[in-house]
Amino acid sequence: MIDRIEYQKYVSDNQPKSPMVRTLIAAFIVGGIICCIGEGIGDILKLIFKDMSEKDVATWESCIMIFLGSFFTALGLYDKLGHYAGGGSIIPITGFANSVTSPAMEYNREGVFFGICAKMFVIAGPIIVFGVTASFIVGFIGYFVV
């Protein structure tokens, strides 16, 4: 039988690889379009509510994008976009919404408590933990330095 190291080299040299150029271009275009939609929503909000502060506009914009991400996940369309765009649809906030909504949909058969609620953050959990920890550290430093 073949040597272990030689076999691993054979596999890594010969296994089919992702088409780099196509996936990068697809991710760039789709990610860009999602961000443009977000910016567009922000601009429309500014037009409708003229005296809304910049900060409130950004918050509402995020809320609407999260809603859209979850909505298209529920319709079963966001995963199809993800197969095509990869990182382009994972990185924006809609991708985060997708990573929370999809396990919630998947595990609703195990009931509300141990299904949806327990499993909702299976994928998004690490992001939330790191986000909270990072903001705590930055806030701590900011409090004493500034």
> Would you mind telling me the total number of residues written for the chain in this entry?
146
Structure tokens that stand for 117 in this block: 């609620």
3-35 as b/e, with b when 16 or more CB fall inside 10 Å? eeeeeeeeeeeeeeeeeeeeeeebbeebbeebb
Nearer to another protein, 55 or 109 (CB): 109
Element (H, E) at 43: helix 20-48
Query: What is the contact surface with another protein in residues (CB under 8 A)?
Result: 1-2, 4, 7-8, 10-11, 14-18, 23, 73-74, 76, 78-83, 85-86, 89-90, 95, 98-99, 101-103, 105-107, 109, 122-123
Least distance to another protein from the beta carbon of 95, Å? 6
Short-list 123, 106, 124, 126, CA closest to 115: 106
Nearer to another protein, 8 or 133 (CB): 8
The interaxial angle of helices 93-106 and 54-74, nearest 10 deg, is 40
Least distance to another protein from the beta carbon of 33, Å? 14
Least distance to another protein from the beta carbon of 129, Å? 17
Least distance to another protein from the beta carbon of 29, Å? 15
Nearer to another protein, 64 or 74 (CB): 74
